[in-house]
Structure 1
Amino acid sequence: MTASAVDRAVEALDRGVADLFNGVHQHRLGHHEETDGSDRHRGHHDHQESPDPAPESGRHAHDDHDSHGSEHANGSSAGAHQHGGHDGHASHEGHNGHAAHGMHGDHDMGAVAGLPMAARADDRDGLRLDRLHVPLGPVLADWPAGLVLRLELQGDVVQQAAVERIAAPTTSRPPFWNEPWLRASAGERVARGDAARRLCAAHLDSLGRFLAVAGWDDAAAQARHVRDRALAGVAATELASSVVPLIRRIRRSRTLRWLTSGLGVLPSEHAHHLGVTGPALVADGDVHCRMLVWLDEIERSAGDCDAPGTLGAADVTGPRGRTDGANLPSQGLLDVLPGLLEGAEFACARLIVASLDPDLDEFTWATPHAQGPADD
């Protein structure tokens, strides 16, 4: 419905509201009708609601010397941006959504201008909110390559989560981070120091991704720098001199603890039941606990980078868990993800994923126990 003059606007709006209440609007979509000999026409408005692109993360961590107020503001931006998109829809409902409620009651919304609107369901607060379907991945920055999460949101809360893996060509080359332990299991001689160096670098790699998602960019860059030094083969004493101050800085960050405590709690009993065998099992707790296990492993393995001896056939525990099980180490991490995400705020979803950091390269290795693509 349009009005050609300012003095006609109020009348046009009143007629539009009346049409919506009477159900006339649904019958007149796509049609134009002259009225009262004037140049006003009844038509349709195109309304298309779509969620904003997935934010990087709603929580940001910085050094404790940074302004806590600015951190909180930045940390809330992604969640507020997403929620803002929903609020915009609520505002739209405030004008003509009331009529839609009158026509449809508690049923799903129909089409407006031929376009489907979001369905509705009960929220945990007893409200009826739009259900938005939002994919995350597979090519986000600091995201496990090849992973796709399909989330169902109400407001800023994840109601359901499904995990998918993008199929990738198989290869005869073992996954990089698990290589020392897989070679040892196959009977090859692998230096214990080399395995410790790979473990240290793997956890530094995960730590760098986690800190970047949390918004602590300089600490993330430092973790990646130390990772590269570990892979370059620097002496254990030199590596430890780089690792120790980094770990001390991260452990002392009250802001990071505040941002990550209470998120994605994974009891060890539940983790064991779902096949988790690595740091997530040892942590027996939340996102912050899993990060602390990485820090412990980094510090220990950095000191063992020049250790003598070789790995034995029983040494099968890589960065993400046991490499000799029926399932790959990262399979258990993918299996626990939906349960950890459901009920979490959307802005926290990426932090939960980063604290597990599944390695999807494990699924591309052409071995008898390699798993096919999963659509959980």
Structure 2
Amino acid sequence: MPGQFRHLAAELAKNPAYRVVFLTRREGVTMPNVITARYPLKEAPPPPAEPLVRSIAQSVNFGAAVAKAAVDMANKNIVPDLIIAHPGWGEALFLRDAWPHAKIVTYGEYYYQPYDGDIGFDPLFPRTLQGVCNARIMNANLLLSHEAADAMISPTHWQKSRHPQFLQDKTTVIFDGIDTDRAAPSPDATFNLGNGTTLTAKDEVITYVARNLEPHRGFHVFVEALPKLLAARPNARIIVVGGDERSYSPPPRGGHESWRSALMSGVDLGQAADRVHFVGKLAYADYLSLLQISGAHLYLTYPFVLSWSCLEAMSAGCAIVASDTAPVAEVITHEQNGLLVPFFDSDALVASVCRLLDDPVLSERLRQSARQTAVTRYNLADCLKQQLAFVNTVLAT
């Protein structure tokens, strides 16, 4: 909580005709005019011996906990007209059974396919029968949840396209929304490294951002490019934002606790190491300041869920070098609002960064176009209008 529904819940709560309840297992999270209801999650039973069944068991544990909370709420006369749910963890599994007369909208973030997505994309994780079977079973929870829904909403056309056709038929594409007024260019921005050094847009700064540093977001390609970037740009500072947990990728091998540890352990940056700064996860204001001073911003991803950070970087007016993968190509067109490179080609990545840093005219043109794309297609005000219209349509049918 609130995840993808932060802005929509807040906007709905502004209407005195609505009572908005956020059902979550998180503690200590509140939103103005939004009632927070918690569901306790029982301790999960021992995992089944059959690995393929484990994701189902976990989803059922979540779904059953939400269903129990829903029945308790119904007994207190909390009976929703509309439910909006992210089905990824199983929380939406039994909503139709707990509240049979409610309209239900599910969030179509991703649906696993054996080809043309993240499965088998990277030679680091070859496609296997076991992996494909596991993904199919992971879809079972999504299928049950989406099938019970009256309508679905998906943030991008590519993410919608991953779903079976009968689910696409009831899916509307509306992006979550970027606050383009807040994530905006600022020529006076500064970023403090925490060691007494303050950087501005006059410094040569290369940025890489991911929620967590892992292969799904191209961290291994970035690490391969890192020595080449440092050699090619002797005055550059490289700022890396992201945590050491895992969001999407399998755990690293060799006993390493994180992908950063696994990948950086074999890299000798020599004296240039002091120009690389791993700053962890940043407060949002600091993160935006970093984007605002970036000379070249890197965004890499498997064919997978598109990151908010990609659109935030565009909104902040970054000159972006990104992977030429399907979700990225929906928002970035090569040489129009960014530069695209093959995901695994670290040499092309370095060459494109150098091209941006050496050509201020190109850089400025791409920055302005990236900003324009974010403002015209993904700004929060317009996305909220579309989401509210969608909600009203679902309620009216």
Same fold (TM over 0.5): no
How high is the TM-score relative to the length of structure 1?
A: 0.33
Choose between structure 1 and 2: higher strand proportion: 2
Q: Which has the larger radius of gyration?
A: 1
Structure number with the bigger relative contact order (C-alpha 8 A, sep ≥ 6) is 1
Question: Taking structure 2 as the reference length, what is the TM-score of the superposition?
Answer: 0.31
